[in-house]
Amino acid sequence: MTTDTELERWQQEWREHTDPLPELKKKIRKQNWQTAAAIIAICACIVLSTLAAIHRQSSFFAGSASGMGFAGIVLGAYAWWVKRGAWKPAANTTLAYAELAYKRTQAKVRILRFTFRFLLVAVVLFSGFLAVGVKHIHPRDIFVDAALIAELFYIKRQERRKLQEILETKKLIEGIRE
């Protein structure tokens, strides 16, 4: 029995040149916009908190500005490091876009776990700071502490959703490879 190599070559070319699933392209494009928006939001928070600290000249605003600057730099650098290799697809194929979505979701889970731990330390330190200054607690401080604790729960919820997304993307990749 002879094999038709020309037919096999055409099939391979067709697989390589087919457009990725439109949903995957939309998802990747959306993630790109979200990354850009996150960078802009972090920069805006750092600038606004610094301006507020300069304008108000209070220790609370100075501490907030310092904390936001430190957190923004540390978390941004970690996110950049974790996302290396997950910026663009290796090829313009459905498999490449699915693998990129998988890598990005894995990176997001790592970032969420790091952020959770980082924020947990911040909550413990801030709560300790509030406990030491029991006589002078401002209602704003209690609100900030409650908001940080609520964010911890939100991050855990996001992590569970991303773990589910990893499983779904893995199934998609396996289906494409078959």
Q: Per-residue pLDDT tens for 33-92?
A: 988 998 898 888 888 888 888 888 877 778 878 887 888 888 888 988 998 888 888 888
- Note whether 49 and 64 are within 8 A (CB): yes
7-16, 42-51, 107-116, 136-145: lowest mean pLDDT where? 7-16
Per-residue pLDDT at 17 exceeds 60: no
Q: Please give the average per-residue pLDDT across 124-149, as a whole number.
A: 83
Choose among 130, 116, 44: nearest CA to 78. Answer: 116
- The full set of domain ranges for the chain reads 22-177
Cα-to-chain-centroid distance, residue 163: 13
Count of CA atoms in the C-beta half-sphere (13 A) of 51:
6
Predicted local distance difference test score (pLDDT) of residue 142: 84
> How does the average pLDDT of the chain come out, rounded?
85
| The Cα angle at residue 66 between residues 61 and 114, in degrees rounded to 5 | 125
